[in-house]
């Protein structure tokens, strides 16, 4: 079984790439963000520590975490962000390791893991290789404005907090240019995947 990590800047099209791979290859697809949300549900391992960190003010009437409220709080407080990451990221990584073990037992050929902080959280310790999904900044900004209704300020703020193109390139084994037509992206994926068959 081959374990491949996928990363890239916001708006690069990682989700589109992951969806395509999940549909066209014998691959399990794990998205670290979705795992994080799952582990923040009441009764799961991250829920109580996060409530202790922020207080009951961050839960709604049903007792669920108000992720929008948390985002507002950590946006203004780097220390709280660091503490939250210390709760969530190790738990996500442990979940991913368990999921990989399950897929290995099931005989799955590939596991693809997408994480925004793939490099920073040292997923290279888990993965056989890392892929960088790249798109021109202009293309990414356009996608975020049209697809997510993000303001230029919000886009600037997110991009400033992500690794540079050079840093992504330096840490990854393979780059997929997803700036143009998706058919071109598919060809790049197919060429890479043919190496493993």
List, for residues 43-72, the tens digit of each pLDDT value: 999 999 999 999 999 999 999 999 888 988
List, for residues 161-180, the tens digit of each pLDDT value: 889 999 999 999 999 999 99
Selection from 25, 1, 30 nearest residue 193 by Cα = 25
Selection from 125, 67, 71 nearest residue 94 by Cα = 125
pTM: 0.90
List, for residues 90-137, the tens digit of each pLDDT value: 999 999 999 999 999 999 999 999 987 899 889 999 999 999 999 999
Predicted local confidence at residue 63, as pLDDT = 92
Which residues are known binding-site members?
Answer: 11-16
Predicted local confidence at residue 186, as pLDDT = 98
Percentage, residues of the chain above pLDDT 90? 81
Checking if the pLDDT of 152 tops 80, the result is yes
Q: φ and ψ at 5, to 5 degrees?
A: -95, 140
Which residues are known binding-site members for ATP?
Answer: 11-16
Distance between CA atoms of 29 and 160, rounded to whole angstroms? 28
Q: What's the average model confidence in pLDDT over 148-162?
A: 88
């Amino acid at each position: 079984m081959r374990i491949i990590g996928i990363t890239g800047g916001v708006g690069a099209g990682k989700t589109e790439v992951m969806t395509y791979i999940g549909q066209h290859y014998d691959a399990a697809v794990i998205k670290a963000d979705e795992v994080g949300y799952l582990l923040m549900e009441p009764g799961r391992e991250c829920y109580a520590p996060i409530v202790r960190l922020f207080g009951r003010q961050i839960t709604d009437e049903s007792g669920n975490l108000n992720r929008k409220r948390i985002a507002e709080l950590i946006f203004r407080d780097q220390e709280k962000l660091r503490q939250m990451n210390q709760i969530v990221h190790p738990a996500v990584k442990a979940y991913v390791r368990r999921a990989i073990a399950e897929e290995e037992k099931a005989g799955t050929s590939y596991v693809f893991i997408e994480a925004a902080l793939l490099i920073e959280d040292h997923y290279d310790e888990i993965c056989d290789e890392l892929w960088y999904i790249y798109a021109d900044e202009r293309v990414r900004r356009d996608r975020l404005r049209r697809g997510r209704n993000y303001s230029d300020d919000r886009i600037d703020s997110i991009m400033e907090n992500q690794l540079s193109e050079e840093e992504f390139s330096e840490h990854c084994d393979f780059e997929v240019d997803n700036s143009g037509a998706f058919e071109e992206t598919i060809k790049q994926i197919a060429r890479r995947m043919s190496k493993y068959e």
